[in-house]
Structure 1
Amino acid sequence: MSVTDSQLKAAGSELAMALMRRKLWITTAESCTGGWVAKALTDRPGSSEYVHSGLVTYSNDAKQRLLGVRGETLQVHGAVSEAVVREMVAGALAATGADVAVAISGVAGPGGGSVEKPVGTVWFAWGRGPEDMVASRMHFHGSRDDIRREAVLYVLQGVKNFLAD
Structure 2
Amino acid sequence: MLINFEKILNNLGKILVDKNLKLSLCESCTGGLISKICTDYSGSSQWFLGGIIAYSNNMKEIIGVNHKTLKKYGAVSENTAQEMSLATLAFTNSDICLSVTGIAGPIGGSYEKPVGTVYFSYSDKYSSNITKKIIFKGSRKEIRYLAAKEGIQIILDCVTDIKTQ
Fold similarity call, TM over 0.5: yes
Provide the rounded CA distance (Å) in 1 between the counterparts of 2:53 and 2:83. Answer: 15
Secondary structure of the residue that 2:108 maps to in structure 1?
Answer: coil
Equivalent residue runs for 1:89-108 within 5 Å: 89-108=85-104
Residues 67-146 of structure 1 aligned to structure 2 (within 5 Å): 67-129=63-125, 131-146=127-142
Instruction: Tell me the CA shift for residue 127 of structure 1.
Output: 1.8
Pick from 3, 6, 12 the counterpart of residue 5 of structure 1: 3
CA RMSD of aligned residues (A): 1.3
On the 8 A contact 1:90/1:129 being kept in 2, the answer is: no
Structure 1, unpaired ranges of 5+: none
Residue 38 of structure 1, aligned match among 32, 35, 55: 35
The runs of 5 or more residues in structure 2 that have no matched partner are none
Give the counterpart letter for 2:119 in structure 1: W
Q: Secondary structure of the residue that 2:129 maps to in structure 1?
A: strand
**Aligned-pair identity (%):** 37
- 1:66-117 Cα offsets, whole Å, 9 max, x none, are x200000000000110100110011001111011000000000000001110
User: CA offsets, 1:110-135, max 9 Å, x none?
Assistant: 00001110000000001204831110
Runs of at least 4 residues of structure 1 off by over 3 A? none
From 45, 50, 64, the equivalent of 1:48 is: 45
